[in-house]
């Protein structure tokens, strides 16, 4: 918990930064989107993973300063890339507490205008488990975000034990199937069948489907056969810093 008390100072001293993981659009073979992932280069502890500090930020309320920082960072980056002729959609992760804020869509809309970035050039990812905390407020906020034109994705799909019944009511564009399901993909028939069934369900409901954590060509080929639209994973590209991404971008298309 002590770590998280250092967050305001860390932000002030530029210890936090975003990396960007390219996603592969299977049909076109192009990179049309990247996911922004936060990193913290701590002054004494070294690089700390978001899986360690994001839950702490959520518990302590510090997420209320972190998520706006992420949004500003992503929009500033997006404005810069568009000026350089790099047109990629940038996905960012928000927490369940952010979705609970009734002003979220207004805040996002204001920032989009400030940075002169079109709404459809960002995607907001929310975890499936976030939906279970206060579904009604969350759906209201998601509808408002969709109304201003932001793309929406359900992250970590399959891990939240959510009811399939409400999936069809969610105003989202994309479902990202969690990488946990890929761990046994090549060794377990059952695991592969779960992935296939999740893909079929999501596609039948009209969602675009991404599978995360793809590490090999053979998995990619199977997912292609299964009808997956987009993959994310080390097989295609690892997360890059902004300047690394700018250099590699021409090769990704």
Which stretches of the chain bind ligand G, using CB under 6 A? 21, 37-38, 49-51, 54, 70, 93-95, 155-156, 179, 212-215, 232-234, 239
Nearer to Mn ion, 155 or 229 (CB): 155
Closest residue to Na ion in the complex (CB) = 156
Cβ 137 to ligand G shortest distance, Å: 18
Minimal distance in Å, beta carbon 196 to ligand G?
Answer: 19
| 146 vs 155 by CB, closer to ligand G | 155
Min CB(210)–ligand G separation in Å: 9
Strands (E), the chain: 16-25, 30-42, 46-48, 89-94, 122-127, 151-157, 174-177, 208-212, 230-232
Task: Identify what 16 binds: Mn ion, ligand G, Na ion, none; CB under 5 to 8 Å per kind.
Answer: none
- Pairing assessment for the beta strands 151-157 and 16-25 based on DSSP bridges: unpaired
Q: What is the C-alpha separation between 85 and 115, in angstroms, rounded?
A: 16
Residues engaged in binding Mn ion (CB under 5 A): 93, 125, 155
Of the pair 24, 214, the CB lying nearest ligand G is at: 214
* 239 contact choice in Mn ion, Na ion, ligand G, none (CB below 5 to 8 Å, kind-dependent): ligand G
For the record, the structure tokens of 185 come out as: 């993909």
Answer whether 95's CB lies under 8 Å from 69's CB.
no
Q: What is the DSSP letter of 182?
A: G
Nearer to Na ion, 51 or 204 (CB): 51
Q: Based on CB atoms, which residue is closest to Mn ion, 179 or 192?
A: 179
Of 6 and 36, which has the nearer Cβ to Mn ion? Answer: 36
Residues that bind Na ion (CB under 5 A): 155-156
- Give the gyration radius of the chain's Cα atoms: 18
Round to the nearest angstrom and report the end-to-end CA distance of the chain. Answer: 43
Cβ neighbours for 70, distance < 8 A, ≥ 6 positions apart: 18, 36, 38, 92, 93, 94
Residue 213: C-alpha distances to residues 25, 75, 76, 127, 183 (Å): 15, 25, 27, 16, 9
Measured from the CB of residue 37, what is the shortest distance to ligand G in angstroms? 4
Strand partners for 175: 154, 209
Beta carbon of residue 132, minimum distance to Mn ion (angstroms, whole number): 17
CB of 54 to ligand G, least distance (A): 5
């Amino acid at each position: 918990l002590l770590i998280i008390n250092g967050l305001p100072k860390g932000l002030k001293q530029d210890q936090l930064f975003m990396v960007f993981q390219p996603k592969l659009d299977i049909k076109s073979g192009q990179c049309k989107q990247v996911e922004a992932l936060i990193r913290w280069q701590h002054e004494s502890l070294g690089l700390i993973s978001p899986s360690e500090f994001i839950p702490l930020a959520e518990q302590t309320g510090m997420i209320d300063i972190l998520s706006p920082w992420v949004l500003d960072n992503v929009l500033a980056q997006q404005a810069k890339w568009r000026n350089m002729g790099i047109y990629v959609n940038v996905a960012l992760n928000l927490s369940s507490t952010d979705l609970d804020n009734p002003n979220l869509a207004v805040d996002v809309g204001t920032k989009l205008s400030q940075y002169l970035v079109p709404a459809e050039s960002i995607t907001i990812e929310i975890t499936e488990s976030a939906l279970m905390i206060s579904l009604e407020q969350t759906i209201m906020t998601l509808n408002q975000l969709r109304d201003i034109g932001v793309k929406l994705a359900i992250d970590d799909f399959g891990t939240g034990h959510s009811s399939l019944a409400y999936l069809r009511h969610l105003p989202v564009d994309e479902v990202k199937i969690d990488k946990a399901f890929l761990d046994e993909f090549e060794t377990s028939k059952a695991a592969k069948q779960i992935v296939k069934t999740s893909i079929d369900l999501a596609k039948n409901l009209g969602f675009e489907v991404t599978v995360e954590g793809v590490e090999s060509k053979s998995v990619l080929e199977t997912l292609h056969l299964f009808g997956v639209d987009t993959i994310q994973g080390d097989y295609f590209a690892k997360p890059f810093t902004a300047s690394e991404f700018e250099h590699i971008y021409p090769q990704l298309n």
